[in-house]
Amino acid sequence: MKRILLIAAMALLATAARSATDRVVVDGVVYEWQSANNQYGYVATGWDEETPIQSLHIHGQVGDGFDVLGIAARAFEDNHDIIYVKIDEGVTYIGQNAFDRCTSLEVAVLPEGLTTIEEEAFAF
Identify the pLDDT of residue 10: 45
Contacts of 34 (CB under 8 A, 6+ apart): 20, 40, 41, 42, 43, 69, 72
* Element of type H or E holding 68: strand 66-71
Q: CA-to-CA distance for 118 and 110, rounded, in angstroms?
A: 14
Q: Is residue 13 part of a domain?
A: no
pLDDT one-digit tens code per residue, 62-113: 988 999 999 999 999 999 999 999 999 999 999 999 999 999 999 999 999 9
Distances in whole angstroms, Cα of residue 70 to Cα of each of 11, 13, 48, 73, 114: 22, 23, 18, 10, 9
Q: Is residue 81 part of a domain?
A: yes
Q: Is residue 9 part of a domain?
A: no
Q: Is residue 122 part of a domain?
A: no
Host domain of residue 84: 19-117
Global model pTM greater than 0.85: no
Q: Is residue 124 part of a domain?
A: no
pLDDT over 80 at 36, yes or no = no
Query: Percent of the chain scored above 90 by pLDDT?
Result: 69
Q: How many domains does the chain have?
A: 1
Q: Is residue 4 part of a domain?
A: no
Q: Is residue 89 part of a domain?
A: yes
Q: Is residue 10 part of a domain?
A: no
